[in-house]
Structure 1
């Protein structure tokens, strides 16, 4: 018979120890609580710094001023309409990049001649700064929507294709050997074994590169644009309307955060076995 513990550890202490355990886990409620709490603390610090006079309000407006500017822009400057235009541009460029990058990346990692032919070119282009290519994009495509889509695509495709190739390379060789032993043909191995095995990582990388695509929005929408969040931010910058500039930036962040959380939920639901 086991002797009772002389000094039992309280349940709250055990829970606190698990909470701060290295690589521990949190419940959904705890994650939400920490996320909201951290955001509120950051906003409070920002508000206090802006109100205390340590920073010039022209350069660092308080969060309350930014929120007020955002409300005014929604009602008077059609901010939500501009946000919708920007969202459509980002998704158009991102879908185009994904449709091209996924098959190319899979072929690069599956067949070495394809990878050896394309990797040097892709590695070279992905290090080119997108802003430096704006003049060329105007020469090639003019100043219409195609230029904006092209710049967003340019900042996404070459990064994504290498991530897709790495996802395919991470598929264990044992899976391929077992499928070959069972009589599967190369096309079946690629479609039914390798692609299914890389799918969780692929969806996660698509979520990450969508965020990258948003980071090029300002560059794309300063090219003779008359709509979009980038256009709104750039116009406010000319007149030193810092609260409106930051309101536009915050709007981009809110759209990105919402999209990211939706994609995370889809990933968890689709790949519950991970």
Structure 2
């Protein structure tokens, strides 16, 4: 018996740490988040390493310039395009198209998503149709949109809308479904009408998630913008990539791809900052 008791005490000491000991947390601990400056430092280090690998691969001649030009060549090319106005003209055209199409798609999806998320009648109509259409490849609609509306800006709007709207609707429905049922029940207990519950309870509770869904879908919109401009276009970032391909101007292609990434990152960060200002009542971690 004494031996058994001593062995049990030893096993317990191995399993449980001493009361006075503090558990050490690192960035490799599950659920441990870095501080703001740690996150910035890690992000900068990642980009520096990637740029260093790019410089090493091109400077040592391991990759030919026709496949991957050096960073200095890309920067020089982008500066040249900026000086002659080509770069700014392409950015202006692309921004105009994505803003118009994304605003229209978002406005429609928010209205339809809220109705479908709140009322079973609309949900039964909208959700099966959206689930059916959203699996259709957007690329297949490009030649159809040219046949339907021609090659103008409206065709670009339509491609971006098809690529974002149906995904957005489901995300809006999901955002509304996340509103706790207790909130709605409280509104009914207080004698509020359905319209009042929708405007004073459901919308404020769902708006942070709706905004987050818009931020995510904006990334998809940039992808569909380039797809729309790759075919039957005379301006824009996607159009310039196609033209550069014909003349083997890899430095322009790489430069415009990086520019698209920078523009996407800027818009994403702007929406993140706006979320903190618009929804201060939201307590999400």
Instruction: Tell me if TM exceeds 0.5.
Output: yes
Alpha-carbon distance between aligned partners in 1 of 2:186 and 2:120, rounded to the nearest angstrom:
21
- What is the root-mean-square deviation of aligned Cα atoms in Å? 2.0
Alpha-carbon distance between aligned partners in 2 of 1:38 and 1:215, rounded to the nearest angstrom:
23
Alpha-carbon distance between aligned partners in 1 of 2:92 and 2:266, rounded to the nearest angstrom:
14
Counterpart of 1:26? 34
| Secondary structure at the counterpart of residue 206 of structure 1 | helix
Counterpart of 1:4? none
Structure 2 matches for 1:98-247, cutoff 5 A?
98-247=106-255
Cα gap change, 1:192 to 1:8, in 2 (>3 Å): closer
Q: Contact 1:148–1:223 (CA<8 Å) still a contact in 2? A: no
* Residue deviations 1:139-158 (CA, integer Å, cap 9, x gap): 11111111011111111101
Q: Of 57, 61, 71, which aligns to 2:69?
A: 61
Alpha-carbon distance between aligned partners in 2 of 1:250 and 1:83, rounded to the nearest angstrom:
13
Counterpart of 1:3? none
Q: Of 265, 276, 281, which aligns to 1:257?
A: 265
Alpha-carbon distance between aligned partners in 2 of 1:53 and 1:128, rounded to the nearest angstrom:
43
In the TM superposition, residue 19 of structure 1 has moved relative to its aligned partner by: 4.0
Which protein is bigger by CA-based radius of gyration?
A: 2
Q: Contact 2:116–2:173 (CA<8 Å) still a contact in 1? A: yes
| Secondary structure at the counterpart of residue 59 of structure 1 | coil
How many pairs align? Answer: 264
| TM, length-normalised to structure 1 | 0.90
> Could you list the runs of 5+ residues in structure 1 that have no partner in the other structure?
1-6
Q: Contact 2:230–2:241 (CA<8 Å) still a contact in 1? A: no
Alpha-carbon distance between aligned partners in 2 of 1:218 and 1:146, rounded to the nearest angstrom:
15
In the TM superposition, residue 258 of structure 1 has moved relative to its aligned partner by: 0.8
